[in-house]
Homo-oligomer: A and B are copies of this chain.
Amino acid sequence: MADRSTIYQVAQRSGVSTATVSRVMHDGAGFSPATRDKVLAAATELGWVPSGSARGLASRRTGIVGLLFPDLDRSGEAEQESPLYVDEVIRGAERAATAVGDAVLIAATHTSSGRQLAFSVAGKVDGLVVMARSLSNQDIVMLSRSLPVVVLANNTHRRLDLVGADNRGGTRGITRHLIDVHGYTDIVFVAGPPRSPDSLARFAGFRDALGAAGLAVPDQPAASGGFTEAGGERAMRELLAGGRRPRAVVFGNDEMAIGALTALRAARVRVPGEIAVTGFDDIAVARHVRPPLTTVRQPMRELGERSVRLLLDRLADPDAQRRSLILPTALVQRRSCGCRPHLTENRGRTSG
């Protein structure tokens, strides 16, 4: 691996100045076709890979957008963001960035060094998408002093661009489904991580539905856990151990609901016969578990895409008005709620 060659070498080899090389590389105007060919030839012969650092320094634009999310490593502690959710967001972000020729820098703010990492990342990018709970609100504000920041799934900022899903409406809808369609009245909610804005909004939607139906509205979730299978399994066991068996359980997300199915199977409780179960997200596994999981589809990939697009818009026009984007969700009826869809239904068809 030889040293990287530079624009000077390319310029020399093609007999023009570096300015001309630069123009050719940017498809600008102001050079003849012959010159263009010479430059391109020299560049490929030398295997020139223009330095992003130099380019970024000179042009004040790195062509990189950063994505910060909470600990995507699921080994270890329990209180984590659902990895599957994060993966989809990353994919969406990557897609939107690539569409305009940018790349995505990802960093999980695990461990205590997360803050430091975040600042390091901030220096390397044109703008940042920050997922909920990957950084303190204070740090987010601090960073937003020096570069554009879009906040994902965290509605606690009044001055920053925001993207999120309609958690409240989605959970309200699925809860209403349990009440109106199936006639359940004894329904409880199992929350995710305590400070997750997503989880809080979903609980609010749950309360909305109960209230609207004239049922008793609880102050607190019946149980809670990390947004993980293990968390859901444990919460479900606690619920069962608590004696009082609800007729239906609305979980904060799919992974928890899937963990709960494991606990229920172990306890030989039939789903949905004795207890109905629902999730949130519609991750890939949801339609494969037994019974297939009724859930709320959240456009995870689109969340990633929209965040990046919002960021790019902001970059293009720093003075534009702040925007707040709430994406709609969709009820996905499968069997865990008591519905009996067609045989093909577990292949991912939606309704509602």
A95 interfacial by beta-carbon distance below 8 Å: yes
A222 interfacial by beta-carbon distance below 8 Å: no
Provide the residues of chain B in CB contact with A52, threshold 8 Å: 53, 56, 62, 120, 123-125
Indicate if the CB atoms of A123 and B55 lie closer than 8 Å. yes
CB of A64, distance to nearest CB on chain B (Å): 6
Provide the residues of chain B in CB contact with A119, threshold 8 Å: 49
A residues contacting the other copy or chain, number (CB 8 A): 64
- A85-106 at interface with B (beta carbon < 8 Å): 87, 90-91, 94-95, 98, 101, 103-106
A146 interfacial by beta-carbon distance below 8 Å: yes
Name which residue of chain B comes closest to A125, CB basis.
Answer: B52
Indicate if the CB atoms of B124 and A106 lie closer than 8 Å. no
Interface centre among A53, A55, A121, A142, by most chain B C-beta atoms within 10 angstroms, is A53
CA distance A51 to B146 in the complex (A): 11
Indicate if the CB atoms of B107 and A98 lie closer than 8 Å. yes
Question: Could you give, for residues 45-61 of chain A, a 1 whenever the CB lies within 8 Å of some chain B CB and a 0 otherwise?
Answer: 00111111111110000
CA distance A318 to B57 in the complex (A): 26
Indicate if the CB atoms of B124 and A1 lie closer than 8 Å. no
- A140-184 at interface with B (beta carbon < 8 Å): 142-148
Indicate if the CB atoms of A51 and B142 lie closer than 8 Å. no
How many copies of the chain does the oligomer comprise?
Answer: 2
Indicate if the CB atoms of A105 and B104 lie closer than 8 Å. yes
CB of A146, distance to nearest CB on chain B (Å): 4
Which of B108, B113, B146, B284 contacts A94, CB < 8 Å? Answer: B108
Provide the residues of chain B in CB contact with A53, threshold 8 Å: 52-57, 62, 124
Interface of A is mostly: mixed
Name which residue of chain B comes closest to A56, CB basis.
Answer: B53
A24 interfacial by beta-carbon distance below 8 Å: no
A117 interfacial by beta-carbon distance below 8 Å: yes
Indicate if the CB atoms of A106 and B94 lie closer than 8 Å. yes
A342 interfacial by beta-carbon distance below 8 Å: no
A83 interfacial by beta-carbon distance below 8 Å: yes
Indicate if the CB atoms of A110 and B124 lie closer than 8 Å. no
Could you jot down 26 A-B contacts, CB within 8 Å? Answer: A1-B146, A4-B146, A47-B142, A47-B146, A50-B123, A52-B62, A52-B125, A53-B54, A53-B57, A53-B62, A53-B124, A57-B57, A72-B91, A73-B91, A73-B95, A83-B87, A94-B106, A98-B108, A101-B117, A103-B105, A103-B107, A103-B120, A284-B284, A284-B285, A285-B285, A288-B289
Which 10 interchain pairs have the tightest Cβ spacing? A53-B56, A52-B124, A52-B123, A53-B57, A87-B87, A4-B146, A47-B145, A288-B288, A49-B146, A49-B123
